[in-house]
Structure 1
């Protein structure tokens, strides 16, 4: 594959504030923000930059901590999904133009000279979560159904290249939050007024599970989740924000943070 080319579609303004460096990117017509992710110690953006005739280019922009900007144009692709490989290199899934098919390919953003154009797959609608062992992990919850199982996409790498994509239906219960740490994948959901904590592998197999009787019916986000140490879950109920602490043996303690009235 050909490497992406440099482009300069922005006028940038940099302002230093007490909160940090503020960078404004301005285009002559229109910009549509799509994705962002870390790139080394910089910020990596994927945007559509529109032209006067209504067409657009997919443009990648790197912004460093001083507000310096460098942009590149994608040769052929829309609907970008940014992610990291297991060795923390920046990759992207895009849909190249085809008159009859909408198929997604996953390729490195930079240094493509040794990459062959891969076979396309049906696009995955979930979000990039993180990496576990030799896999990049994506997760999707169908918000329009209360019956369909969650879906997991595990992109397997070998020798710094995409080897295979594994599309997996996660065993019920559904509507899980997902947390990855130390090459472990953890799920947490509310089911019949109890919390279900599971650890799965990259193929969706359940390795461990437990039922947690929490004082809270619902939760916002997972701060940390583990079978080997205390877990911390962010909750909110009637304006009261708290952290539910789950011990190794499954007992819980609620720590109130703030009451928003």
Structure 2
């Protein structure tokens, strides 16, 4: 029988500061603190999985925080490492973790573990939770290198139990950006230099596909995808960020969102897209000499916070608002997580590469 997770709020200290941006929460550990994963919860709180070192040993910790930066609970994992957290169809919090001894994967709830019987272990699946379709939880593993196909992991629930686990191969090309649309998966990938939009069912069968004429872009990412309604994508070319609207006939409207100064360098990657509503979304990105996040609404950038190498702050290039963080002799701020709830609050997790004990969480209403 698995044990219930216990409170470990004494593993680190927490300081909160209010400013014009919103709230800044500073989390400090004695040795080392690493942010692993984060999700928004059905109660509009945010859940973070952290790795905290104690006497050079790794400890997996889950921290729930409300939109105002108040810590609701901090509990320590006892069954494994490298957690991936998700919300089950019944709105309970679950996690996929690796047994540190045999490196097999367990899929178990965060709370009420004492009611479980024997827990089955699986071969580990490397992938991100992309959401749920009815009673099925979906993880997607995009193959960034080589020709092996992407994979879809399906966890079918009945009540508070997993009744089926299945891995489905997705036809090539690999390295697709995947979004859920009702009972299907919408994909954006590259095929011989062209952007390929496909929809597959949960068995991996291709239902529909088309090539999108998006000019010469370095990369594009799906925001909202559909063959029946308008689709939205964002993408970049060197130091310029664009947004695309594609209708059901494939016609494209392209708009430039921002063009960075050449001294900042070029965009390297769009990391994540978080939908807010039908008109707005959040995204974060990294570039040659910078990283940051942007709030986009009605095809325009509302705010775009960026930090260049060496700077101890993020600056909104739209309003010139500055969010200052503690300055070190060397500074390299990095966004390690981004999330939004249904109460119009978003949170950004940030760390300084040159200070391993600290993690900052910015909480902002919009």
Tell me if TM exceeds 0.5: yes
Separation in 2 of the partners of 1:183 and 1:88? Answer: 19
> Residue 116 of structure 1: CA displacement?
2.4
> Residue 260 of structure 1: CA displacement?
2.2
1:15 maps to what in 2? 17
1:37 maps to what in 2? 39
Higher relative contact order, structure no. (Cα contacts within 8 Å, ≥ 6 residues apart): 2
Runs of 4+ off more than 4 Å: none
Is 2:4–2:111's contact at 8 Å kept on the other side of the alignment?
Answer: yes
Gaps of 5+ in 1: none
TM-score, normalisation: structure 2: 0.66
Separation in 2 of the partners of 1:211 and 1:116? Answer: 49
> Residue 94 of structure 1: CA displacement?
0.8
Separation in 2 of the partners of 1:189 and 1:6? Answer: 43
> Residue 217 of structure 1: CA displacement?
4.3
1:136 maps to what in 2? 137
1:57 maps to what in 2? 59
Is 1:154–1:203's contact at 8 Å kept on the other side of the alignment?
Answer: no
Separation in 2 of the partners of 1:6 and 1:259? Answer: 47
Is 1:230–1:247's contact at 8 Å kept on the other side of the alignment?
Answer: yes
2:104 maps to what in 1? 103
Is 1:219–1:235's contact at 8 Å kept on the other side of the alignment?
Answer: yes
TM-score, normalisation: structure 1: 0.91
1:143-182 pair list within 5 angstroms: 143-145=144-146, 147-182=147-182
Gaps of 5+ in 2: 262-366
1:91 to 91, 94, 101: 94
User: Tell me, what secondary structure is at the counterpart of 2:121?
Assistant: coil
> Residue 218 of structure 1: CA displacement?
4.5
Aligned CA distance change for structure 1 residues 260 and 201 (closer, same or farther; 3 Å): same
Deviations 1:87-121 (A, max 9, x none): 332110112243xx210011111122322242111
Task: Supply the RMSD in Å over aligned alpha carbons.
Answer: 1.8
Separation in 1 of the partners of 2:20 and 2:181? Answer: 33
Is 2:89–2:157's contact at 8 Å kept on the other side of the alignment?
Answer: yes
Is 1:190–1:218's contact at 8 Å kept on the other side of the alignment?
Answer: no
1:75 to 75, 78, 93: 78
Is 1:216–1:235's contact at 8 Å kept on the other side of the alignment?
Answer: no
User: Tell me, what secondary structure is at the counterpart of 1:178?
Assistant: strand
Separation in 2 of the partners of 1:74 and 1:238? Answer: 42
